[in-house]
């Protein structure tokens, strides 16, 4: 499980004192195996499941050793260890504060301050998922999406690895004809759907591998994904002709050149390139 502290970034705030989020102490049980089928009847303290490879992380707001031991026995899973963190530690020690991109004012759902004049407020509850807008790759994707919107309608938008759904929500708020948000992680899909409901936004959220959805034409693909995933997604023989534009992020300095070369080899030109902290890179590309 990636360290939340490694995700860095801290956007400017609006001088508002953020109230306490509805998450305090987290008890995270790490099990070897896929616990999705067995994760039921775990009580009111159960918050959700994070699946990463062959490991399941079960989140609770209070200690639940008995429930987890029963689940492990029923599902044939192996309990590795339990982590106890505060919510702030889980989010990398960073407060979630209101922030602005274009004409969208992103605001934590538990502290819904009024939006500045001329902007539209989007409520965000990141829950237990990374993607609160604190990371520079998220900000870069939003900034590039805003620039793309200035050039015309977005059409159908495909958000791969949607996380909390921030990019998908922004696309919908900026007039996308249709938005499909996809993530392999069930907790991300649930969180995205919850954030869509918070804002009264209609979009489709689906759990599954990103590559399963690339045969569906989309005017714009959003993908804040690690290089290990991207190099498989964009490589031949996968057909990318129905995907004229992409805004991609999640790659580091040693990887961005490889991503650019891969995109050019598949018929894309790089329109804009963003860099943060000499580490994180984001690209807006278009088929030529």
Do 181 and 157 lie in a common domain? Answer: yes
Q: Which residues contact 202 (CB under 8 A, 6 or more apart)?
A: 172, 196
Could you tell me if 127 and 185 are in contact, meaning their C-beta atoms sit under 8 angstroms apart? no
Structure tokens at 99: 């922030």
Do 198 and 62 lie in a common domain? Answer: no
Do 179 and 200 lie in a common domain? Answer: yes
Structure tokens at 227: 């290089």
* Residue at 6 is within a domain: no
Do 143 and 266 lie in a common domain? Answer: yes
Structure tokens at 151: 């050039």
Do 188 and 65 lie in a common domain? Answer: no
Pairing type for strands 245-252 and 268-276 reads: unpaired
Structure tokens at 19: 């109230």
Exposure pattern of 16-31 as b/e (b: 16+ CB <10 Å)? eeeeebebeebbbbbb
Counted residue by residue, the chain has a size of 288
Distance CA 270, CA 263 (A): 8
Distance CA 252, CA 39 (A): 35
Element (H, E) at 256: helix 253-265
Bridge partners (DSSP) listed for residue 252: 280
Element (H, E) at 166: helix 166-173
Tens-level pLDDT at each residue, the chain (288 residues)? 333 333 333 333 333 444 566 678 999 999 999 999 999 899 999 988 988 889 999 999 999 999 999 999 999 999 999 999 988 788 776 667 899 999 999 999 988 899 999 999 999 998 888 767 778 999 999 999 999 999 999 999 999 999 999 999 999 999 999 999 999 988 999 999 999 999 999 999 999 999 999 998 999 999 999 999 999 999 999 999 999 999 999 999 999 999 999 999 999 999 999 999 899 999 999 999
Number of domains in the chain: 2
Residue-number span of the structural domain to which 59 is assigned: 25-90
């Amino acid at each position: 499980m990636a360290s939340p502290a490694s995700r860095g970034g801290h956007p400017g705030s609006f001088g508002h004192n953020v109230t306490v989020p509805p998450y305090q102490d987290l008890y995270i049980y790490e099990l070897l195996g896929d616990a999705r089928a067995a994760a039921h009847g775990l009580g009111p303290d159960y918050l959700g499941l994070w699946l990463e490879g062959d490991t399941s992380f079960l989140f609770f707001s209070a200690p639940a050793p008995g429930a987890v031991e029963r689940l492990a026995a029923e599902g044939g899973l192996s309990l590795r260890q339990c982590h106890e963190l505060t919510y702030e530690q889980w989010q990398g020690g960073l407060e979630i504060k209101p922030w602005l991109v274009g004409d969208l004012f992103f605001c934590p759902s538990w502290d819904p301050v009024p939006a500045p004049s001329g902007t539209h407020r989007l409520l965000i509850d990141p829950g237990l998922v990374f993607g609160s807008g604190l990371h520079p790759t998220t900000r870069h994707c939003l900034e590039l999406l805003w620039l793309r919107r200035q050039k015309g309608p977005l059409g159908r938008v495909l958000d791969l690895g949607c996380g909390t759904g921030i990019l998908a929500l922004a696309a919908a708020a900026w007039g996308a004809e249709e938005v499909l948000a996809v993530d392999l992680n069930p907790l991300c899909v649930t969180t995205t759907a919850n954030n869509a409901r918070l804002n009264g936004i209609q979009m489709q959220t689906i759990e599954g591998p990103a590559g399963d959805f690339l045969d569906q034409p989309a005017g714009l693909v959003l993908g804040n994904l690690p290089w290990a995933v991207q190099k498989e997604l964009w490589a031949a023989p996968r057909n990318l002709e129905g995907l004229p534009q992409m805004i991609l992020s999640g790659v580091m300095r040693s990887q961005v050149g490889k991503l650019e070369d891969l995109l050019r080899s598949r018929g894309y030109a790089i329109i804009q390139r963003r860099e943060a902290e000499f580490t994180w890179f984001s690209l807006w590309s278009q088929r030529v």
